[in-house]
Amino acid sequence: MQTSQTKFIALFLSASLLSGSVMSQKFFKKTPKATHWVDSVYNSLTPDQRLAQLMVLRESGLENGQPEIYGEKVMDLIKRYNIGGICLFQGSPKDQAQVLAGLQNAAQTPLMVCIDGETGLGMRMDGVDKFPDQLTMGAIRNGKDLIYKIGAAMARQCIRMGIQVNYAPVVDINNNPANPVIGYRSFGQDKNVVADYGVAIMKGMQNEGIMACAKHFPGHGDVSVDSHLDLPVIEKSLAELEKLELVPFKKVFKAGIGSVMIAHLSIPKIEPTPHLASSLSHKFVTDLLRKKIGFTGLSFTDALGMKGVAKYFPQGEVCVMSLKAGNDMLCLPEDVGLGIEKINAAIQKGELSWTELEPRVKKVLYAKYHLGLSSADSKNIASQNLTQDLNKEVASLSSVVAKRALTAVRLENNRFIPLSPNKKTAYLQVGGKPEDILAKSLEDNAGTRNYYFGYSDDLSEANEILSQIKTGKFDRIVVSIEGFSKRPANNFQISTAALKLIRDIEDYNHSATLMVMGNPYALKNFTGYKNLLVSYEDGSVFQQAVSDFLLGKTGAQGKLPVTVTEKLPFGTGLVIKR
């Protein structure tokens, strides 16, 4: 039996092994200059301002479907409380730059500027193209070098925009096809792929000086409820989590990631208190994350306005509970003043103490120093050519991803004969924008007769297209399905008429080729096709990649990053060389 002393030693050694990374520690290194700046700033703050340093506010969002920057509201809170950080969401780069410069200039203590940019700034900002989804990257074989480059390019976007922290990567393992909120945001279902690619993209960001953030600890992949709407429940023990969900987190922690985001999850076998989310639980944040695993970087809560916590606890109380659990930064509290009031009350009651809060405030300040925020120059964002600069690397890197991720799930005789004007070919596009890049390319280069069917079209229109294709006496038929939802609800929003038309085509011509240009889980609807490919997305570079394959210019080398059905398991994918 272990004594309490030997248990302590074992925990100490485990923590030391995992917290010794140079990459993580560079954000919190207590150099003489850093310590002088941190102490001088800390000593200049009132108690309320010190508490406010632990808060990250929403700077923008969508109102009635349109981007809105909350400049005046955030400015008021900065002046009143000296808030620690802000998180950028919707808005144009130019507008964001103008507002951000004003906020930084008004801040007594420089703001830590964050963004939830899993696919780069294009995930949030108007006019900026996004990088491919993580699930798309998960389809690439031996892709660590490429994914590192994407992480580095994302970091350069952040630097250009005056952002210091990117809430990425997602290192959740998507092992539940019905997951309504992770899915395409994950690198897939294999713990090693998720871990390796998570480390690669993180190193790309952090080697450029941007702090990455692993999310959503301890693993949001095996849920069927969206924590934005309610509290998901995971019926797993710690031993089960350690075999799967925690593997990528431990690997990115060991590799030196600077921060982690704590999920709103109920895991009763670890935290039996009803409705107490992992983000509010001492057992998860302190006992598991800090003590057992040994993570020493910043911990952000997931957004505190999400129903996974807000449904069960009042807002001000949620701030107190988050800090009692052991978190460093409170993400998107809905009422800053109330939160500070409740935290002060908890300090008066002895539920919290400055002995534990002071190191957290100083940890935030050390991070700000090492992220360059002690320098006035870091506040200046030149608006000239801003959008062009943010887009500079997106298309070229995304194009490489599109080609390397393209997956030949199944082909007759394990080969594909390129389309040619010498063969009469019908091309049916289902969903997406009519006459898109793919349709025009096939018509121009292979002489295809093109047909289009939208999701709002009905069965009579589907039957008319099918009749025309049958009477056209085509040598070959190619079908693509595009523009469907990335989320699995209501079968990806694919209409019944569209499904029937695609299946009717296969019933008519068993050698037809189907290209699924979106979430690979949608393949489950089309397992009858003998020629079946998936491109994972349908943006312009993906359409070009599909066109190049169909015309024989390039091959296919991707693999399924998830199991779709028993006959389409993880790793499925032919290597077709050109």
Please spell the DSSP secondary structure of 88-112, one letter per residue: E-SB-HHHHHHHHHHHHHH-SS--E
Q: Do residue 159 and residue 295 come from a single domain?
A: yes
What does the alpha-carbon distance between residue 437 and residue 428 come to, in Å, rounded to a whole number? Answer: 14
Could you tell me if residue 565 is inside a domain?
no
Domain boundary among 346, 361, 391: 391
Helix (H, G, I), strand (E, B) or coil at 488: coil
pLDDT digits (tens, 9 = 90+) for 157-170: 999 999 999 999 99
Number of domains the chain contains: 2
Q: Do residue 249 and residue 165 come from a single domain?
A: yes
Q: Do residue 430 and residue 376 come from a single domain?
A: no
Please spell the DSSP secondary structure of 513-570, one letter per residue: EEEE-S-GGGGGGGTT-SEEEE-S--SHHHHHHHHHHHTTSS-B----SS--BTTB-T
Domain boundary among 333, 362, 391: 391
Q: Do residue 334 and residue 425 come from a single domain?
A: no
Q: Do residue 72 and residue 197 come from a single domain?
A: yes
Q: Do residue 387 and residue 254 come from a single domain?
A: yes
Could you tell me if residue 560 is inside a domain?
no
Cα 367 off chain centre by: 22
- 121-144-185-273 Cα dihedral, nearest 10 degrees: -110
pLDDT digits (tens, 9 = 90+) for 425-440: 999 999 999 989 999 9
Could you tell me if residue 15 is inside a domain?
no
Q: Do residue 370 and residue 438 come from a single domain?
A: no
Task: Please report the beta strands in 92-210, taking only residues with DSSP state E, as ranges in sequence order.
Answer: 112-115, 165-166
> Cis peptide leading into 169, omega within 30 of 0?
yes
Q: Do residue 111 and residue 254 come from a single domain?
A: yes
Could you tell me if residue 236 is inside a domain?
yes
Could you tell me if residue 215 is inside a domain?
yes
- Report the CATH number at residue 257: 3.20.20.300
Domain boundary among 343, 364, 391: 391
Look up the domain containing 526 and give its range: 406-550
pTM to 2 decimal places: 0.93
Could you tell me if residue 16 is inside a domain?
no
Greatest alpha-carbon pair distance for the chain in Å reads: 83
Q: What is the CA radius of gyration of the chain?
A: 25
Q: Do residue 138 and residue 170 come from a single domain?
A: yes
What integer pLDDT is reported at residue 379 of this predicted model?
A: 57
pLDDT profile of the chain (578 residues), mean per 10: 42 39 75 97 98 96 89 95 96 94 94 97 96 98 97 98 97 88 93 98 97 95 75 91 96 97 94 93 97 96 88 90 97 94 97 97 98 75 92 98 98 97 97 95 98 98 98 97 96 97 97 98 97 98 98 98 96 96
Q: Do residue 457 and residue 360 come from a single domain?
A: no
Q: Do residue 250 and residue 171 come from a single domain?
A: yes
Could you tell me if residue 211 is inside a domain?
yes
What integer pLDDT is reported at residue 35 of this predicted model?
A: 97
- Report the CATH number at residue 513: 3.40.50.1700
Q: Do residue 383 and residue 449 come from a single domain?
A: no
Could you tell me if residue 571 is inside a domain?
no
